[in-house]
Copies of this chain bind each other. A is one copy, B any other.
Amino acid sequence: MRAISQAQPNIALVKYWGKRDVENNLPATGSLSVTLDALWTRMSVEFDDQPGPDTLLVNGAEQPTMLPRVRRCLDDIAGAERPAARIESECNFPIAAGLASSASAFAALATAASKANGRRSDRLSLARAAGRASGSAARSLYPGFVELEVGPDNINLSTLATPEQWPLTVTVAVTEAGSKPVSSSAAMIISRQTSPFYEAWVERQPEDLSAAREAVAARDFAALAAVAEHNCLKMHSVMWSSRPSVVYWNSATLAALESVRRMQDRGDAVFFTIDAGPQVKVVSLPEMATEVADQLRKTAGVIDVLQSGLGDGARIL
């Protein structure tokens, strides 16, 4: 049985950083994101008739390092006795560079595997399976503005506003095309174990989530900008204060941040967020999108600019 799915990355405005339970990949705190539209991972999962080694092609090339994580996710969805799987993944943006490629990949994988396996899984079950493989992947199952809450044993998700209810644009300044030096998973563990600010980060997250939730409900761009930028700088502060320090930013990251500050100084409705990587994501009202892309393209060190509206959750194609 073969199934083909598509999922898009999501960008967290209130960030996920740190795990409560590494074994089950349960986040330490809730988070809030926007699901994108124009960047995507398309994935084909086909189960053979009998058990055997799985195969994985990403953009046409074998990816043996990703295979163990993919295998665990398939076992989670189709059971450890499942037949062998042939997986082919295609992605239209850079992988492992802080652009949430693993979020879209595991959201797509869970969706396609469940269908190929002949199961009728609800969206929440698929989101939880995707989240066990990659914490932020759970959010890519849902459209628009997505809140992830952490209960005692599992996560819950909901869409706070659809793309139609509050259409915003996300413009990505790509400042480095290569993979990042430390994976998010590894860096989160370092932060929890060594940052003197980790505890305060976890404690203050509900406050930021509440402010962001209210801003989305009120469609209050300035309020969302204030809490998102604060939350982003706070997350990177936790990384920087870890030992060893985790500094994902490069000089172009700061140059792009300065470009955003210049736009804000003249009153433009834009704000930045930066994930575990050197890329800068600029959120704006759609009417600002062209100007934002122009300014970022002119910024020293920015090698590419990607732009997207908000989109739907993972689905079968």
- A301 proximity list for chain B (CB < 8 A): 251
**Chain A interface (Cβ < 8 Å from any Cβ of B):** 196-197, 199-201, 203-204, 226, 229-230, 233-234, 236-238, 240-241, 243, 245, 247, 249-255, 257-258, 300-301
Report the minimal beta-carbon distance from A148 to chain B, rounded to whole angstroms. Answer: 21
Of all A-B residue pairs in the complex, the 10 with the closest CB atoms, nearest first, are: A237-B237, A251-B255, A233-B240, A251-B251, A197-B197, A251-B254, A196-B200, A234-B241, A196-B204, A237-B241
In the complex this chain forms, how many copies of it are found? 2
- Are the CB atoms of A230 and B243 closer together than 8 Å? yes
Known contacts A196-B204, A197-B237, A234-B196; A251 and B245 CB within 8 A of each other = no
Report the minimal beta-carbon distance from A297 to chain B, rounded to whole angstroms. Answer: 16
- Alpha-carbon distance A300/B254, docked complex (angstroms): 13
Interface residue from B200, B247, B251 paired with A197 (Cβ < 8 Å): B200
Interface residue from B201, B230, B252, B300 paired with A245 (Cβ < 8 Å): B230
Report the minimal beta-carbon distance from A181 to chain B, rounded to whole angstroms. Answer: 10
- A236 proximity list for chain B (CB < 8 A): 237, 240
Known contacts A196-B201, A201-B196, A234-B196; A247 and B241 CB within 8 A of each other = no
Secondary structure dominating the interface of A: helix
Smallest Cβ-Cβ distance to A255: which chain B residue: B251
Smallest Cβ-Cβ distance to A208: which chain B residue: B196
- Alpha-carbon distance A247/B255, docked complex (angstroms): 12
- A249 proximity list for chain B (CB < 8 A): 254
Interface residue from B204, B240, B257 paired with A237 (Cβ < 8 Å): B240
- A196 proximity list for chain B (CB < 8 A): 197, 200-201, 203-204, 234
- Alpha-carbon distance A51/B258, docked complex (angstroms): 48
Report the minimal beta-carbon distance from A49 to chain B, rounded to whole angstroms. Answer: 51
For this complex, 17 residue pairs linking A to B, each with C-beta atoms less than 8 Å apart, are A196-B203, A196-B204, A197-B197, A197-B237, A229-B245, A230-B243, A233-B247, A234-B240, A236-B237, A236-B240, A237-B237, A237-B238, A249-B254, A250-B255, A251-B252, A251-B300, A253-B254
